[in-house]
Amino acid sequence: MKIPTILAYDDLDRVEKGQRNQASQTRYVGLDGRWVELDLTPEHEAELLAFIERYMKAGVAPPEPPKPPKGSGSPGTERNQRILEFAQQHGLKYTKRTAGGWYFPVATVEAWSKYEKDLEAARGVGGDLTGG
């Protein structure tokens, strides 16, 4: 039986240089309710961690860590389940990760995001689309 290999490519190299360098780590970063998933090479991961460490040292830990907003990019979340269902319904690409969770290519996430924004806009204009 052939076992597929899943490769993730560094997002910075892809966006900034048009290069496909294999990533070794996925990090989730959030600010003001906006969360992103970054696939990074060891060098870019070290750069990110060094940059954030400055702010982590300056900040004060809250009594309880804030919960990510509903639908954050963490693995196995409700958001990922919604993206998976959307991808399956629309024949879009996705891959199950060997370590658990799902990998959604940028095109799949962008299509889902547009769909969600269109739904929100329709709800704002025409009310609840669920009939409730």
- Kindly list the domain boundaries of the chain, sorted by start residue: 1-67, 75-132
Phi-psi region of 76 (alpha: psi -120 to 50; beta: other; left: phi over 0): left
Tens digit of each residue's pLDDT (9 = 90 or more) over 110-129: 888 899 888 888 887 554 44
Handedness of CA 7, 13, 16, 17 (dihedral sign): negative
- Report field, pTM of the whole predicted structure over 0.85: no
Interhelix angle 106-126/78-90, rounded to 10 degrees, is: 100
CATH for 1-67 is 3.30.60.230
Q: Per mean pLDDT, which of 76-80, 101-105, 109-113 is the most reliable? A: 109-113
Q: What is the mean pLDDT of residues 17-25?
A: 89
Nearest one of 46, 48, 51 to 37, comparing CA atoms: 48
